[in-house]
Amino acid sequence: MELRIDQNTVDRCRALASAIAEPVSAFIEAHSTVAVERSVLRLLGVDGVGADEIPIPNMLVDALSPQERSRGAALAFGKALAETGLEPRALGEAIAAGTYALADFAHVPDEAARGAIAPHVEASLARIRARRAEREERLRRLPQLPPPLLYVIVASGNIYEDRTAAVAAVESGAQIIAVIRSTGQSLLDFVPYGPTTEGFGGTYATQANFSIMREALDEVSEREGRYVMLTNYASGLCMPEIASMAALERLDMLLNDSMYGILFRDINMKRTFVDQHFSRMLNAYAGIIINTGEDNYLTTADAVEQAPAVLASQFINEEFAHRAGMPDEQIGLGDAYEINPDLQDGFLYQVAQAQLTRQIFPKAPLKYMPPTKHMTGDIFKGHLMDAMFNLTSVMTKQSIHLVGMLTEAIHTPFLGDRALSIENARYVMNTARHFGDEITFKPDGVIEKRAQNVLADASALLERVAEMGLMNAIEAAVFADVSRSPDGGRGFDGVFARAPEYWNPFEAALRQAQGDTAQAQGDTAGARGDAVGTGSSRVILSLSKDGLK
């Protein structure tokens, strides 16, 4: 089942995406953010909260003068480490308690700071490597069921209730559990601390909550004989901090988009571009699969009209991920089944888009999102729409399948809703497992023409974005009909230029590791592959093969 599409246009799109990302990369390299600096401190081992429940990483970064901050938090913190001889966590707590101030150590030479930090950087990266190795070992011992991998959300607000729901969902057949965050969390400029039992529309992402859910899923993975993956959201103002916590707690996937927060949460674009880059470097190292958020374009604007924008955004997301060192196998590009159900032949368009994405990004673990926009209180019709979505997913070999809930428009899913929806997906995917291998598309038929048009329009759109520049294009509402200005939005005051002496020890080490891997793999290693047609269970497993040493 292959669509005939013009490979030259695909290549042109990739070249344009690269041209679009280039000036943004230059900006990223010259800047850092408070969230990046906080995540450096977290990776060093700083944790806990001080007075008024303010996280210690925030207290430390907020206390830096603009000059100190522009050199990176690691230097100032390293100086204190060198002089006090404390462990990072204890030092953070001592500063929070007022025993010391980072400014007290300004006289310590930079070299001493670098020396004091180095062993902690190595220890932290070793811990991340160990968590990655644990995942690889478990995936070998407890193989996943074949994709599309069934992904369900839990969102009670209470991590302990979430744990119950997650285990029940796994027992019904779920293969990936996502803990949806409390609705406001993306706008918080700090990460809450400790286990939490109250949230709205979701549960706070905290390191303790990550650990509680990981433990529960590991337990049920052993019982079921298959590894269950855990997902959270590295988006919003704390994107890199969430990525660092996820790396330390062995999450397997993270929502991590290069533009989602800009468009849908009005987070400043410069903040987002800098934050997504460091987050993705960490994700690449930790072996975490990212999920991008193109599905959101379709919920706010018309799905038929927005199809080229979705594809264009996938190319841009892929390019930014490559630039952060991510291999294709970790880039879970997003798409969604959101065409108006009243549209005649809407299913044909859905198949065209899903198959087009599959062919253009053959190694990517594509994330396919269910209908949400056109779901109503009519759960019976909703269940049918989900079945059509399930069919599209299995026939086009999507990788990560977000199970649609019949009660989507009503409430966060009940335990029974999840069971019914998983059963729907299992039924459809089993009964139509090899359907896609048995059929061919009518040459120049509705589906093939539609795919060709979407690709051509995406290419034209990328030409336009390349000409305008990405930041201007976002301001001109090219994506999702939403306009954002380069210096507007939340979190802009947390973006700052790097001084010439700026130092982020993790960035340096991760870049070094990426260089080593690329060299070890030789010229064929490029993040981009030319293999066609995947969709076997190896898609997910293969990421574990050539881990960064």
User: Contact positions toward another protein, by CB under 8 A?
Assistant: 157, 167-172, 182-184, 186-187, 200-201, 264-266, 299-302, 373, 376-377, 409-412, 414-416, 419-420, 481
Question: Minimum distance from CB of 145 to another protein (Å)?
Answer: 16
Cβ distance 27 to 71 under 8 Å?
A: no
CA distances from 408 to 380, 381, 405 (A): 12, 11, 5
Secondary element (H or E) of residue 485: none
Beta carbon of residue 310, minimum distance to another protein (angstroms, whole number): 18
In angstroms, the CA 173 to CA 389 distance is 18
Please name the helix (run of DSSP H) or strand (run of DSSP E) that holds residue 103, with its range, or none. none
Please state the closest distance from residue 503 (CB atom) to another protein, in A. 35
Strand stretches in 289-383, DSSP E? 289-291, 331-332, 334-336, 367-369
For residue 418, the minimal CB distance to another protein (Å) is 8
Peptide bond into 308 cis (omega under 30): no
What gap in Å lies between CA 68 and CA 322, rounded to an integer? 31
Closest separation in Å from C-beta 300 to another protein: 6
Helical (H) or strand (E) element with 157:
none
Give, in degrees to the nearest 5, the angle at Cα 92 between 86 and 97: 105
Q: Choose the catalytic residue: 227, 233, 260, 297.
A: 260
* For another protein, the closer CB: 293 or 436: 293
Q: Which of 162, 257, 275, 295 is catalytic?
A: 295
Q: Looking at 398-537, list the stretches that DSSP marks H as alpha helix, in order from N- to C-terminal side.
A: 415-431, 435-438, 446-468, 470-475, 505-521
Q: What are phi and psi of 288, to 5 degrees?
A: -85, 130
Q: Cβ 202 to another protein, closest distance in Å?
A: 9
Residue 334, beta-bridge partner list: 367
Cβ 376 to another protein shortest distance, Å: 6
Task: Give the amino acid at 444.
Answer: D
Which CB, 170 or 539, lies closer to another protein?
170
Residue whose pair of structure tokens reads 């119950």 in the numeric block: 164
User: Cβ-count burial of 32 within 10 angstroms (0-12 exposed, 13-18 middle, 19+ buried)?
Assistant: buried
Please give the DSSP secondary-structure letter assigned to residue 144: P
What DSSP character marks residue 423?
H
**295 assigned to active site:** yes
Neighbours of 143 (CB within 10 A): 14
CA distances in angstroms from 438 to 1, 362, 432, 435, 535, listed in the order given: 7, 19, 10, 5, 15
Q: Would you call 367 a catalytic residue per the annotation? A: yes
Catalytically annotated residues: 260, 295, 367
